[in-house]
Each structure stands twice: as structure tokens, then as C-alpha cells.
Amino acid sequence: MDVFDAIRGRRSIRRYASRPVERELIEKVVDAGRWAPSSGNTQPVEVVAVTDPEKRRVMAEVSGYARYLKDAPVALVVCINLSRARSRYGELGVSYFAPLDAAVAIQNMMLAAHALGLGTCWDSVFDKGKVRELVSLPGDVEPFAIIALGYPSENPSPPPRRPLKEILHWEKYSS
């Protein structure tokens, strides 16, 4: 799929078919995240792929706005390895760069998933302590976001975007 089609066609999917996602496709999606740029190439992002229904049920329960996690066949827990994040830029790496690194990796994964016929939805409001425990994260690995992944069972219309001419300012900011 052309990258512009992937960018335009990707939607946040909140209804999923029960069909499991092939392991090979999950690997392809996470591999797309692995090729994202990262600050100083520190590569602080780690992903825990969760298919276990009970764990996904708990994740849905401890998430503010992601009830769909219990129905999506896969939940990708995107994490930040704090030691790697700290390795080059110290605390700035942890507080500033690593969340950006995780965000660009997530966008790569969401676009790759869409190109493979899969849907995704980003969840960033959840009980991090509970999720940490659920997937046995060590102390220096922080959960950052949970991305639902699965075959879509809805085809939502694109939520509107601001017009290009409103957000693109040539040479200087103009209102």
C-alpha cells in the first residue's frame, strides 16, 4: 500500500472481529515500530504482545477510554526501557525524548497494521501499575501506551481534519 493511502486510510478501530491475528503479522507490525527513528538511535521502545483474553479483560477494566481492549484479539503494550532512554541524554532522555520515540514507533506500527488489513486504536490512559504487574515489567521498563490490534469489524468515516490552509503557515505564522 502506498504510504499516502496508508496515512489517509488508517482509522482508530474500536470494534474487532474475534478472528485471531497471525503471529507473523504481529511480528511485521512490531518490526515496523523497530524501524522508526529514535533520539540518538537509543531505541528505548519495547513491546509486550498480549493475546490472553483474561489479561485483555483486565486491561480494558483499568483503562479510562479503551473498553475495546477486551474484544481486540491483541493488545500491544508499548513500553519505554528507562535505562536505554537514560543512556545518552540522562533525565532529558527519559522525560522528553523517550515519549517521542515511543509515539513515532506507535505511528509506524499503526500504519503498518492498516497496510496489512488490521485495525488499531491507541490507549494512553490506564492504570500503569496494574498493567506493569499484569505483564511482569521489570523496574526499569515503563508502560507508555496500549495499542489494540485486530481485524476490524467496523469501517468508521474519517473524523474531520482542520483544513491544510489553516494549519500550514508559510514563512511566518498567520491567522
Ligand X SMILES: Cc1cc2nc3c(=O)[nH]c(=O)nc-3n(C[C@H](O)[C@H](O)[C@H](O)COP(=O)(O)O)c2cc1C
Residues that bind ligand X (CB under 6 A): 11-12, 14, 65-66, 121-125, 158-159
Rounded CA separation 104/35 (Å): 10
C-alpha cell at 86: 537514560
Closest approach, Cβ 45 to ligand X, in A, equals 15
Is 44:151 a contact under the CB 8 Å cutoff?
A: no
Residue 94 phi, psi (nearest 5): -75, -50
Closer residue to ligand X (CB): 88 or 103: 103
Report helix, strand or coil for 148. strand
Kindly tell me which of 11 and 55 has the beta carbon lying closer to ligand X. 11
Count of alpha carbons within 13 angstroms of residue 150, beta-carbon side: 23
Identify which of residues 159 and 163 has a Cβ nearer to ligand X in the complex: 159
Q: Least CB distance from residue 56 to ligand X, whole Å? A: 15
- Alpha carbons 118 and 138: distance in angstroms, whole number: 30
The dihedrals phi and psi of 67, each to the nearest 5 degrees, come to: -60, -25
Q: Minimum Å distance from CB 23 to ligand X?
A: 25
* Smallest separation (angstroms) from ligand X to the CB of 65: 4
Question: Of 68 and 134, which CB lies nearer to ligand X in the complex structure?
Answer: 68
